[in-house]
């Protein structure tokens, strides 16, 4: 039974969901080592990225619940809950760094990395430095990093949408050119018919 159940059933449930995601992430990255096909690796990374986003949401929810209960809890309980938050953020940070490393190696910087952002300074050192930060600093850093992740995802979506738009515009331009060529062919047929008709009339006039 989760020790958090004696404090809050909701916190215990969130903690269990986060733990399940961490186990899935660990297994997912282990399986990634065995995958040789680049496309399958890319799909696996996308799935792991989705799990990280869900984990981020749960950690934020956990943080809100802890803050709501802070005034009602004793200092030892608050300390334990803060340490639990710190542990969650540090573990998520380690998976984010691992995902970035795999994405860089896989794509060789040719496709948009979902975890790239304005501050592309997420390295293993950041994770190690977390042990010397206060709980609030760790949470702030983790939240900032995950917010930047969302922003990078939106930029990635925009790149894809722009590409689709260019393709659509190109197709429309080709369609317009095809229609124009068709009209030109029809006009040439009409001119050719008129020339033949005129030639016939000239011959008839000559025979008379």
Predicted confidence (pLDDT) at residue 55 exceeds the cutoff of 90: yes
Instruction: Give tens-digit pLDDT for 7-23.
Output: 888 888 988 999 999 99
Using CB atoms within 10 Å of the CB of residue 71, give its burial: 0 to 12 exposed, 13 to 18 middle, 19+ buried. Answer: exposed
If you average pLDDT over residues 95-117, what whole number do you get? 67
* Distance from C-alpha of 184 to C-alpha of 178, rounded to nearest angstrom: 10
Whether 51 contacts 28, CB under 8 Å: yes
* Distance from C-alpha of 25 to C-alpha of 44, rounded to nearest angstrom: 10
pTM exceeds 0.95 for this model: no
Instruction: Give tens-digit pLDDT for 32-41.
Output: 888 788 788 8
pLDDT number for residue 137? 63
Residue 130: DSSP 8-state: G
pLDDT number for residue 108? 62
pLDDT number for residue 206? 67
Band the pLDDT of 113: cuts 50, 70, 90. Answer: very low
Domain limits, the chain: 3-163
pLDDT number for residue 136? 64
What residue spans of the chain are helical by DSSP H?
9-34, 38-69, 75-107, 124-129, 135-207
Whether 52 contacts 39, CB under 8 Å: no
pLDDT number for residue 114? 44
Band the pLDDT of 29: cuts 50, 70, 90. Answer: confident
Query: CA–CA distance from 42 to each of 56, 94, 173, 185 (Å)?
Result: 21, 19, 33, 48
Minimal CA–CA distance to 92: which of 157, 38, 18, 29? 18
* Distance from C-alpha of 151 to C-alpha of 167, rounded to nearest angstrom: 25
Q: What dotted CATH number matches 3-163? A: 1.20.58
pLDDT number for residue 71? 86
């Amino acid at each position: 039974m989760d020790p958090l159940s004696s404090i809050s059933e909701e916190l215990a449930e969130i903690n269990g969901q986060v733990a399940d995601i961490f186990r899935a992430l660990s297994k997912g990255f282990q399986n990634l080592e065995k995958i040789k096909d680049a496309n399958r690796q890319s799909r696996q990374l996308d799935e792991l990225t989705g799990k990280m986003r869900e984990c981020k949401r749960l950690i934020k929810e956990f943080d809100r619940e802890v803050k709501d209960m802070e005034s009602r809890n004793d200092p030892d309980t608050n300390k334990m809950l803060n340490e639990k938050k710190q542990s969650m953020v540090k573990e998520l940070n380690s998976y984010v760094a691992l995902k970035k490393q795999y994405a860089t190696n896989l794509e060789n910087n040719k496709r948009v990395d979902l975890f790239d952002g304005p501050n592309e300074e997420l390295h293993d050192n950041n994770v190690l430095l977390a042990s010397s930060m206060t709980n609030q600093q760790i949470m702030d850093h983790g939240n900032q990093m995950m917010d930047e992740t969302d922003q990078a995802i939106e930029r990635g979506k925009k790149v894809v949408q722009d590409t689709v738009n260019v393709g659509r515009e190109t197709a429309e331009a080709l369609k317009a050119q095809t229609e124009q060529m068709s009209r030109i062919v029809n006009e040439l047929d009409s001119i050719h018919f008129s020339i033949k008709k005129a030639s016939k009339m000239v011959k008839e006039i000559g025979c008379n």
